[in-house]
Amino acid sequence: MSANFQNFQKGPEFKKIFDVLGDGIFNADFDLWKNRRKIAKTLITHHTFHNFLVKTNCDMVKNGLVPCSIYKRFTFDTTCILVTGFDPGSLSVDLNNIAFMKAMNDAGEVMVIRNLLPQCVWKLQKWHGIGPEKKLRDAREVIDRVIGKYILMKHDELRAKGEKMNENEEEEGVDLLASYIANDDGETKTGLIFYDKFLRDTILNFMIAGRDTTSSGLTWFIWLVVTHPEIEKKIREELKAIISLGEEGDKQRLFKGGELKNAIYLHAALCESLRLYPVPVPFQLKIPQEPDVLPSGHRVHPNMRVMVILYAMGRMESVWGKGALDHLTSSFLSNGGPRICLGKEVAFTQMKAVAAAIIHNYHVEMVKGHEVCPNVSVILYMKNGFKVRIRNRWT
């Protein structure tokens, strides 16, 4: 992934399994991947998107998460707003059943099944429209319809506003879809044409990247904090120190993104949680382009699939030392190679704001007898969810 990146690509088989993602950045290799990553990086790191991220995150934590305390719906709504500018409204007090969210869940489930079945089996199911493939077909119809609607709405919205960004938009920021459309001059400097299929694939890839990964990461992190009281105490002490001297520290409070930049211990604990529970993808699939020898000494060639099990690697005492399963220190190493997550800082901004709000304001107690174990999935979910009792610390 790092030292010999060019030789290990995702390959055509990966794209067949995850065809619902189209030609988005997850499926792309070589020049197509470079072009799409370059464009996405430019827009994600732009100050207008950062402003929009901070404002959206603060609003959603205050008005959505705290009243409902459901991570998955929180990250679904937040990601949808950041990517498209539209709120699907799943995080409401009555917990609406959102067809778009269900369709994405169904699509993810079928993609896991495709990894487990021989290609000839799932292709036969797809041809006849039966079994899991029928579920994926139905899910894809919903996904395409909803994203298509968002694209049309955004075109209309931008036409109504005019091309120029006003001062309020500059300060509060804009969503990614608006940025992509605003930068469409027919053809970019990289030669990539902006058309609706590209926008559809881009939106879906960003939605997949941002929603379940962050919610699962938060779930595992809060569980680890709850089961390690000494970690919880240190994080609370750090958060209390961040609060200005002129402000009373012992009261309910939400933290803004800028305030948590110096929350070093919180950041380290989040990294350690991701080491133990690598929720973005607990495994990596690569196809060698040329024969090679892995650092382990294993020989590989283009007819082989190389599966890198990150979940297992994060627990190897030969890498992390004795007690690798028990400690939550700052031993995390950030080296993911050229394909390292584009939205890493976006995810950390969200996770820190939510984690700080929960840990500072509430006592979280896991329900006795609740079984905690990972689910077999593309995203590392907590199989049975995380059932807790929550008590306000300041009332």
The single residue listed with the structure tokens 């709504």 is 77
Distance CA 58, CA 357 (A): 10
| Three-state secondary structure of the chain | CCCCHHHEECHHHHHHHCHHHCCCCCCCCHHHHHHHHHHHHHHHCCHHHHHHHHHHHHHHHHHHHHHHCCHHHHHHHHHHHHHHCCCCCCCCCCCCCCHHHHHHHHHHHHHHHHHHCCHHHHHHHHHHCCHHHHHHHHHHHHHHHHHHHHHHHHHHHHHHHCCCCCHHHHHHCCCHHHHHHHCCCCCCCCCCCCCHHHHHHHHHHHHHHHCHHHHHHHHHHHHHHHCCHHHHHHHHHHHHHHCCCCCCCCCCCCCCHHHHCCCHHHHHHHHHHHHHCCCCCCEEEEEECCCEECCCCCEECCCCCEEEEHHHHCCCHHHHCCCCCCCCCCCCCCCCCCCCCCCHHHHHHHHHHHHHHHHHHEEEEECCCCCCCECCCCCCCECCCCCEEEEECCC
CA 226 to chain centroid = 23
Q: Is 80 annotated as a binding residue?
A: no
The four Cα atoms 148, 212, 378, 117 give a dihedral, to 10 degrees, of -50
Distance CA 40, CA 57 (A): 20
Nearest to 182 by CA among 165, 200, 207: 165
Nearest to 357 by CA among 228, 221, 245: 221
* Residue list for the binding site for heme: 341
Per the annotation, binding residues are 341
